[in-house]
Chains A and B, each alone.
Chain A
Amino acid sequence: MNFSIGQTIKHAILILGALIVIAPFYTMVSYSFKSQREIETGADTGFFGSQEVIIDEFCVHRGQPEREEVKDTLELYPEKTERDVYNILLDEVKKNCTKKPVFFNYQSAFTFAPLLRYLLNGVIVTVSIFLIQVIVALPAAYALAKLRFWGRDFAFSLVLFCLLIPVHAIALPLYIMLAKVGLTNTYAALIIPWTISVFGIFLMRQFFMTVPDDLIDAGRMDGMSEFSIIWKVMLPTAIPALLAFAIFSVVAHWNDYFWPRVVITGERNLFTPPIGMREYRADSDGTFYGPIMAVSTVIVTPLIVAFMLAQKRFIEGITLSGMK
């Protein structure tokens, strides 16, 4: 291998960038192993923490001896005071509530709130959004790229214009519209606003521009309808671009905190993973960082795995459609 200063500097910068990007992930995974005390005091206990046994306060509160129990026990030890008996019983409870921080964090991740349900909701919402987006975007992109009709350029400039509208700007009217038709706290509220993805239309249109017209003409000559051309000819050629779009779409909606937070106000069963995480927050009255980080780790894992699997296709897709 030739040694080149330029290459070395380039790689050094890239490695530095990668470290900056990975640092929060490192902290997240590391915190998911640690106890509240280690996290809040910033104790230097390494990546896995000290794993010193902690007392699960919730478990203690749940098992707190009831008055009746104290009275019954008091009858057995008449020489002791009520307070003594209470403390003895409480110590017994505490003994059964000790845990290693890593178990406490991951166990509360799944028991404190129905995380599996949230993950399922995440899958339902992201998959529905993506499928509908494809059903809308493919024909639209095909028409904008390959068909000649009056106002095509204007329609395309509208698509470009819509790319410029930030969702937060239209969140309020969207919310009111959904509220008026009684759709808040439903799956529909989570899905409908995202079904038309102008980004998807734009991306697919750019890709279809590169598909030779001959392919389409051949299809037409064989008597295919326009729609069967879209689904049987264009769709298979567009798989790499679709995969790239899938990653954008799925990541954006799997991780979306803003919109679910607005439209799902109290229906726990509809929580998506990111707003589910909110349940572990209680402001100054005791946010549980350990379980929150455990939940975050659980939530991002499927995405990272999916990206690793589709990495090559993903990069292909981006270069195919975006760089032309």
Chain B
Amino acid sequence: MKTKYLSTLLVALLTLPGSLLQAKVVVEFAYPYSQLFDVTYEKILPKFYEAHPNIEIKMRAAYENYEDGTNTILREAVANKLPDITMQGLNRQAILVEKGIAKSLEPFIAKEANFSKDGYHSAMLKLSTFGNDVYGLPFSISLPVGYYNMDVMAKAGVKSVDDLPKTWEEVIDVCGKLMDAGVKNPMFWGWNITGNWFLQALMWSQGQGVMENGKFMIDTPEGLQALETMKSIFRGCKMPNLSTSDGSTLFTSGEAGMFFWSTSSVASVERAKADFDFKTNGITSRRKCCYDGKSIRRS
């Protein structure tokens, strides 16, 4: 009961300055992937209002995906109807900063008493730092992960999580076995635009960032290696050219044995999948070791 008392006290303290101010500040906000975030924001809002009664949040219509989000912002910038806060994909911030649409958060951060202790770790802030200024704050993060239909995988002799492929060569090898066993579409690998962080992952795992000083580093041995790896995966698994959502359906319908995509789809796959044993597993890179601690800083 002690904790409860403490939290009420905090709320009372926070409401006090709010009640002194009369006019409400309206903040317009938009986010992508409504299926993913609607409930999250529904739950956050009352708590936010409790803490900041002088602010009103006006939700705009959700963006379909990150690309739509950036497109919408670019169009709204022309019409001068930008929202105050927008939730964008990590890899789409640069264009908004370059065009001067995104504004530096430094003046606001300077006013925060305990910003560094509020949970914003410097490594996370670096992801949204351009020049020396922070332009965005991290909200959600997902990671590349392997989805496996263990029932299908059994056809290739993979019986347990320990037997799951550990390198891309092994993935291709399993693909071959599955196709021999009559599986037409053994795998989908999220190469599409939202998933181009798989390309990033392939390059980072070799210690090479995708962008350096405003240049796309595909023209490097590591870039070539990444593309060669992708080519061998696509050819070796006879991967059809599908959109990610169709690729996901390929997996949920019980056809594909493997689906390499973001952790964010686990819930929707779980919701829609046919009756099969579903497991996820980390993806290992081509080479044994990978992350040298420099890559993030370079981005």
Contact = CB atoms under 8 A, between A and B. Distances in A.
A265 B76 contact: yes
B245 A283 contact: yes
Interface in A168-212: 175-176, 178-179, 182, 184-185
A80 interface: no
Contacts of B252: 40-41
Interface stretch (B35-43, B97-105, B113-121, B153-161): B35-43
A284 B4 contact: no
A69 interface: no
B64 A282 contact: yes
B189 to A, nearest CB: 13
Given A57-B271, A283-B64, A285-B33, A62 B39 contact: yes
Contacts of A184: 75-76, 79, 81
Interface string B58-94: 0111101100000010011011110100000000000
B74 to A, nearest CB: 10
Given A41-B254, A62-B42, A284 B76 contact: no
B241 interface: no
Contact of A287 (B30, B35, B261, B274): B35
B94 to A, nearest CB: 21
Interface of B: 4, 28, 30, 32-36, 38-39, 42-43, 59-62, 64-65, 72, 75-76, 78-81, 83, 190, 194, 243-245, 247-249, 252-254, 261-262, 264-265, 267-268, 271-274
Contacts of B272: 36-37, 39-41, 286
Nearest to B250: A40
Interface in A57-76: 57-58, 61-62, 68
A41 B36 CA distance: 21
B184 to A, nearest CB: 14
Q: In the A-B complex, list the 3 residue pairs whose CB atoms are closest, starting with the nearest.
A: A286-B268, A266-B60, A179-B79
A284 B245 CA distance: 4
Contacts of A39: 272
Given A176-B78, A265-B76, A278-B64, 20 more contacts: A37-B271, A39-B272, A43-B274, A178-B79, A179-B78, A184-B75, A265-B75, A266-B83, A268-B59, A282-B33, A282-B65, A284-B190, A284-B245, A284-B261, A284-B268, A286-B36, A286-B265, A286-B271, A287-B35, A288-B35
A286 B64 CA distance: 11
Nearest to A68: B4
A37 B78 contact: no
Contacts of A268: 59-61
A280 B268 CA distance: 13
A220 interface: no
A271 interface: yes
A225 B22 CA distance: 61
6 contacts: A58-B39, A184-B79, A265-B76, A266-B81, A286-B268, A287-B245
A284 B244 contact: yes
Given A36-B272, A41-B252, A41-B274, A283 B194 contact: yes
A286 B267 contact: yes
Contacts of A262: 75
A153 interface: no
Contacts of B271: 36-37, 57, 286
A267 B60 contact: yes
Q: Interface residue tally of chain A, by bracket?
A: 35 or more
Given A36-B271, A68-B4, A285 B79 contact: no
Contacts of A43: 274
Interface of A: 36-37, 39-43, 57-58, 61-62, 68, 175-176, 178-179, 182, 184-185, 262, 265-268, 271, 278-288
Nearest to A189: B79
Contacts of A278: 64
Nearest to B246: A284
B274 A37 contact: yes
B41 to A, nearest CB: 12
Contacts of A182: 79-80
B183 to A, nearest CB: 16
A61 B274 contact: no
B200 to A, nearest CB: 18
Nearest to A281: B64
A284 B265 contact: yes
B42 to A, nearest CB: 7
A324 B162 CA distance: 76
A40 B276 CA distance: 14
Contacts of A62: 39, 42-43
A190 to B, nearest CB: 14
A282 B253 contact: no
Nearest to B190: A284
B34 A283 contact: no
A288 B36 CA distance: 12
B273 A37 contact: yes
Which of A36, A57, A175, A285 has the largest number of chain B CB atoms within 10 A?
A285
Given A42-B253, A57-B271, A266-B81, A286 B75 contact: no
Contacts of A286: 35-36, 265, 267-268, 271-272
Given A262-B75, A284-B268, A279 B34 contact: yes
A285 B72 contact: no
A177 to B, nearest CB: 11
A266 B30 contact: yes
A283 B33 contact: yes
B244 A266 contact: no
A250 B65 CA distance: 30
Nearest to A178: B79
Contacts of B244: 283-284
